[in-house]
Structure 1
Amino acid sequence: MTSRLIQILLGLSLLLNTFVLAGFIYRSWIAPPFDMHGMPPPPRGAPGLPGQPGGPRLNPVEMVVRDLDLDADQRKVMQDLFDQYAKERRERLQAIARLREQTSLEISRMPRDMAKIDALVDQVSQLRAEQQKETLRTLTQLEPSLRPGQRERLQRLLIDRVASPPPPPPPHRPPGGGPPRPPQ
C-alpha cells in the first residue's frame, strides 16, 4: 500500500474513534440518565386524552367502564349515575385536600398538638373509606344494565381491583438513576 492510502485510513480511523469517544462522553456525563423501567415523560404541549400520559386521570368508575367497553346506549342510561359519582368524588377529594392542609398547619405549629393531628388523620382515613365504599356501590349499580359477558368482566374487575392486595412497589433505585459518574 502506498503511504497516502495508509494516511487516509488512519485519518478515517481517528475520525471514527473521535465520534465514538464524543458519544460516550455525552451519554455518560452530559445527557440525563435513561430510565427504561419508568413511564415515558408526558408529551409537551396540549394535554393528552383522559387516562393517557399528560392527560387527565380517570376516576376508578371511568376506568372500569372503559374496561367493560360499554356501547353508546348503555352509557346514556348510566350517565346520571356517572355524573353523580363524579360530583360526590370531587367534593370528597376537596374535603380531603382541606383536611391535609389543616394537618400540615398543625404539624408546623410548635408545640404540636398530637390529639388534633390524630383527629385530622382519622377524618382523612374516614373520607377515603367512604370514597371506596361509594365506588363499590356505583360499580354494583352498573350491573343491571350490562350484558352477561360484561357482568362477568365486572365481577373479575371488582375482585382484581378491590379484593386483591395492591401490587408491590417498584424496587428502590439509588438517586441519580444509574452508576456513579467517573471523576472528571
Structure 2
Amino acid sequence: MTAVVHAAAVGRTAVTPQALRTVARCLPACVTVVTSGQGAALHGMTVSSFTTLSLAPPLVSFSVMDGARIRSVVETSGGFTVNVLGAEQAALARWFASSERPTGAASFAGVELADEPVASGAVLAGALAYFACGPVRLVEAGDHVIAIGTVERCRTLRDGMPLIFEGGGFRHLGPVLEE
C-alpha cells in the first residue's frame, strides 16, 4: 500500500500556477478543436487537454477554464465533437484559441466544414480524425471544468502527422525512433 503525503505535511510550499505552467510545457499535447452546438449556437475552441478515458464504455474528456464560452454551449447541447488537427493546421488552432474571434456561428465564417453527421458541433475539413460525443458529464476541478463525453461516433478522416503543442508553441512529430 502506498501512502499519499501532502506537500504541507513535509513542509513544502504550494506550487504556483506559473511553476506548474512552466513544468507542464515539457509535456507534448495533441491539439484539437472542440465544437459544440448547432446553427447560430455553434461554437468552437482550441483544446490541448483532450484524452481518451475508457474503451468500455467509450469515454473521452477535455478540460477548460470554468468560465470558458464552450462550457455553457456543451451544457446546453449535451454533446460535443473533438477535431484532431493535422500538423499543417496551426492557423486554425490559433483562430479557435483567439479571444478576438467572434462568438457563435460567426467564428466559423471562412472555416471549411466536412460533410460528417454529428449531433452536436461540427467536423472541420482537413482534420485527421474526430470523436462525436453525446451524454456529457461536467466535473468541477479547481478553476477548470472537465467535460466527459460518451463517444457515439469516431472516425479517422485522413493520414497525417498531428499538430502538437509543446514548450509554448506548435510542433509536429518527427520520425519514429523505434517500433
Which structure shows the higher strand fraction?
2
Higher normalized contact order (CA 8 Å, seq sep 6+, divided by chain length): 2
Structure number having the greater helix percentage: 1
User: Whose radius of gyration is greater, 1 or 2?
Assistant: 1
Global fold match (TM > 0.5): no
Normalising to structure 2: TM-score of the pair?
A: 0.24
**What TM-score do you get using the length of structure 1 for normalisation?**
0.23
